């Protein structure tokens, strides 16, 4: 269904909530004289999560993963409200101290780590935020643990285990609750990644559901336990506080969008906080999708401002056909495209991945 902006002659007020990969990219691409954009983001910088595992291994610096938001917003002519959004009321975003009026709002608040209510998670480290990643690296460097357990074998868990195996003389374990590594990827990919981990001496434990984490051990549901000196939790994400409180349609805990990436007539939802399901395909929660959804919505905002109909979104990296470059350490990466995966990790793919990841924050400088 096409929605028309009511007065194409006026500047449309757009409030973007969240200045991560989707929100910052939308602001960069949508900025123009037709749109009056306000970015609402409590952090002072845009951050590239994809480089956090490399940061754990001392391979990149904080400057490679971040770009300050204020100069970026000034450059593109957007306003920055350096606060957390608390609610959306009618045509206003309610922030900690400010109220931001809007004609169109864009929710791009990402996701937070999900601990599934497991006891003792305060003893674990997470790589979901820059602060947590810095805390994890500081701990690893200052205590030099003998045994590190990486809980969860998604992309973050695999890349973190590989980078640690390269940079530390320590026993690394990857613990997965399902029966294979990278359970959301095709089985052939899991098999190749498991071989790559085996070559690096990383211990893989599957079918192991963590029940509790203590200061020096991991306890499993079957009552068994493993000693550990450091536990890194990478097993799952969930919606953040704001998206829980919005009166918008939900699907499996995420905000459900339509084919135009809207959850209401004047509210678009992008990136990790969105449940994007179009034509039977489900978008993955990846940087690739966050960026594509942002560029598509930037174009649609311009259509709206000109009184033109919206264009439907088309998913590229779907759960049925993943698209990923997975760092396997030693300067190599595996490429995954649907069911296809290179038989061995390649240096060239790693160069490409590092270039893509580093170029993300450079766009905002």
Ligand X SMILES: Cc1cc2nc3c(=O)[nH]c(=O)nc-3n(C[C@H](O)[C@H](O)[C@H](O)COP(=O)(O)OP(=O)(O)OC[C@H]3O[C@@H](n4cnc5c(N)ncnc54)[C@H](O)[C@@H]3O)c2cc1C
Binding site for ligand X (CB under 6 A): 17-23, 40-43, 49-50, 52-53, 84-85, 108-110, 127-128, 155-156, 240, 242, 271-273, 285-288, 290
Select 37 or 108, whichever has its Cβ closest to ligand X.
Answer: 108
Beta carbon of residue 20, minimum distance to ligand X (angstroms, whole number): 2
Beta carbon of residue 304, minimum distance to ligand X (angstroms, whole number): 21
Beta carbon of residue 17, minimum distance to ligand X (angstroms, whole number): 5
> Across the strands, what pairs with 47?
66
SS (H, E, C) 56-120: HCCCCCHHHHEEEHHHHHHHHCCEEECCCEEEEECCEEEECCCEEECCEEEECCCEEECCCCCEC
DSSP per-residue codes, 243-302: HHHS-S-EETTEEE--TTSEEETTEEE-GGGEE-EETTEEB-SSHHHHHHHHHHHHHHHH
Select 145 or 335, whichever has its Cβ closest to ligand X.
Answer: 335
Beta carbon of residue 121, minimum distance to ligand X (angstroms, whole number): 16
Select 52 or 115, whichever has its Cβ closest to ligand X.
Answer: 52
Token digits for 347? 């240096």
Select 5 or 287, whichever has its Cβ closest to ligand X.
Answer: 287
Beta carbon of residue 329, minimum distance to ligand X (angstroms, whole number): 14
Select 5 or 20, whichever has its Cβ closest to ligand X.
Answer: 20
Beta carbon of residue 291, minimum distance to ligand X (angstroms, whole number): 8
Token digits for 122? 């305060």
Name the nearest CA neighbour of 41 among 96, 101, 112: 96
Select 190 or 234, whichever has its Cβ closest to ligand X.
Answer: 234
Token digits for 312? 């439907």
Contact present, 256 and 263 (Cβ < 8 Å): yes
């Amino acid at each position: 269904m096409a929605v028309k902006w009511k007065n194409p002659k006026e500047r449309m007020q757009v409030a973007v909530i969240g200045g991560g990969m989707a929100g910052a990219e939308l602001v960069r691409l949508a900025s123009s004289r037709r749109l009056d954009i306000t970015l609402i983001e409590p952090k002072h910088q845009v951050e590239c999560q994809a480089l956090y595992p490399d940061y754990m291994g001392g391979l990149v610096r904080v400057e490679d993963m971040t770009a300050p938001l204020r100069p970026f917003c000034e450059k593109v002519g957007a306003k920055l409200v350096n606060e957390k959004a608390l609610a959306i009321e009618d045509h206003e975003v309610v922030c900690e101290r400010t109220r931001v009026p809007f004609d169109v709002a864009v929710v791009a608040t990402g996701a937070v780590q999900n601990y599934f209510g497991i006891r003792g998670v305060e003893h674990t480290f997470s790589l979901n935020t820059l602060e947590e990643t810095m805390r994890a690296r500081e701990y690893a460097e200052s205590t030099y643990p003998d045994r590190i357990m990486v809980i969860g074998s998604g992309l973050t868990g695999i890349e973190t285990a590989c980078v640690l195996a390269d940079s530390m003389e320590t026993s690394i374990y990857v613990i997965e609750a399902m029966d294979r590594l990278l359970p959301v990827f095709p089985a052939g990919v899991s098999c190749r990644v498991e071989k790559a981990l085996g070559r690096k001496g990383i211990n893989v434990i599957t079918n192991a559901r963590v029940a509790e984490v203590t200061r020096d051990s991991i306890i499993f549901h079957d009552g068994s336990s493993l000693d550990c000196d450091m536990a890194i939790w990478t097993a799952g994400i969930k919606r953040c506080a704001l998206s829980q409180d919005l009166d918008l349609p939900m699907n499996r805990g995420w905000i459900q969008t339509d084919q135009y990436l809207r959850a209401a007539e004047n509210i678009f939802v992008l990136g990790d906080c969105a449940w994007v399901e179009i034509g039977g395909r489900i978008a993955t929660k990846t940087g690739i999708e966050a960026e594509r959804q942002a560029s598509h919505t930037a174009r649609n905002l311009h259509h709206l401002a000109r009184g033109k109909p919206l264009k439907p979104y088309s998913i590229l990296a779907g759960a049925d056909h993943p698209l990923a470059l997975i760092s396997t350490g030693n300067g190599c990466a595996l490429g995954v495209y649907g069911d296809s995966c290179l038989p061995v990790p390649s240096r060239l793919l790693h160069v490409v991945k590092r270039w893509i990841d580093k170029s993300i924050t450079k766009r905002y400088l």
